[in-house]
Amino acid sequence: MTTLEPIKIRKMVTPSLYIQGKGAIYYLGQKAFPYGDKGYVVGGASALTAAGDRIRKSLVSNGIEVVGWNDSIKDCTHATIARLAEEGKHLKPHFVVGVGGGRAVDTAKAVAWKLKLPSITVGTQCATNADASAESVVYTDDHRFLEVIALPRNPVVVIEDTEVIFNAPSKYMVWGMGDALSTKFEAEAYAKARQKKKDAETPPTAALALADACYKGLMEHGLKAITDVKNGNHSTDVDDVIEAVKLSSAMAFENTGCALAHAFHNGLTRTGQVKGEHGEIVAYGTIVQMVYENRPRDEVQQVVNWCDKIGLPTKLRAFGELTKAALRMAVEYAAEKDWNSRNMPDKVKASELMAAVEKVERGKL
């Protein structure tokens, strides 16, 4: 009897349409119309203040009725998702438009999923790669990481108006680059894990190429882009970084997976003692992962130096006073409980992860 080898599947998921550029928001109504003529717009107050008039104009001028408008999103929690989904049931929209940063668009995508409708996202700052992904990261009411909801499909339309994003505070771009920084290293770890464990889809070479392109884009354009945003110069470097964060990073992580950098982020945020944005903590976690993997010192130092120049944390003290007990809890959670650590080629040991953290803290890279 012949034993057949399991089929090695490669898959690539993407949004149906991604549009980036100055004035891209005006394409919203035209590209949304094929999905229906009733839109439910949700987002944060500041995001809808910044872009709301243009969003409404684009929808209405293309024959779309705005049946709901909710600017109350402050965090992506199960309670917020349930509240907006219940509101949406009565409005009977044909699609949901999520406007803002990661918390807003993740909420909107989950609301659309609850309503069994397509989602459309409009980014208003560059702190997140959530806009194009088929995931929603859910937090507790006091913003501790809770879980990730895997959604059945990506947004059907992703709009990144670079004029809107450029006018957001520069700190958002710093945070977005911190999150995107992890993409190359986590994607490579994921690919090695799948090759060794043979327990899931093989990542397509296209996704790994996007992860590498994301990293190169950050290294080549990141510092110039931040300088230009601060100086009011909307340059090609700014647009290149927006694409690296919003498209390359999103499609690379979506079609590979997160790994130890995000596992450690999740462990740290669960302690309740860490004060920092997602991208800041992930950037630090990326350095920890690189040291854990015994990557060449020069490679790690390049990332540390880049983070220092960009303004991303490279030491734990940047996140406040973390007790030794809390750090142990974070390390143990990341190594033993967080699903992302399973995307490392070998089982993560808490003792080895703690040793990597201690090396980073001592500068022994």
Alpha helices in 138-204 (DSSP H): 162-166, 170-197
Average pLDDT, the chain: 95
Pairing of strands 95-100, 119-123: parallel
Give the tens place of pLDDT for each residue, 173-186. Answer: 999 999 999 999 99
Q: What is the mean pLDDT of residues 262-291?
A: 96
**pLDDT (0 to 100) of residue 5:** 54
Q: What is the pLDDT of residue 90?
A: 97
pLDDT band at 144 (very low <50, low <70, confident <90, very high): confident
pLDDT of 26 > 80? The answer is: yes
Which residues contact residue 260 at a Cβ distance below 8 angstroms, ignoring those fewer than 6 apart? 186, 189, 285, 288, 289, 292, 334, 340, 341, 343, 344, 348, 353
Position with higher pLDDT, 233 vs 197: 233
d(CA 285, CA 280): 9
pLDDT at position 3:
52
Number of Cβ within 10 Å of residue 10's Cβ equals 12
What is the rounded CA–CA span in Å between residue 52 and residue 35? 20
Q: How far apart are CA 363 and CA 14, in angstroms?
A: 39
300 band by pLDDT with thresholds 50, 70 and 90: very high
pLDDT tens-digit series, residues 29-66: 999 999 999 999 999 999 999 999 999 999 999 999 99
Categorize the per-residue pLDDT at 200 as very low, low, confident or very high, splitting at 50, 70 and 90. confident
- Percent of the chain residues past pLDDT 90, beyond the cut: 93
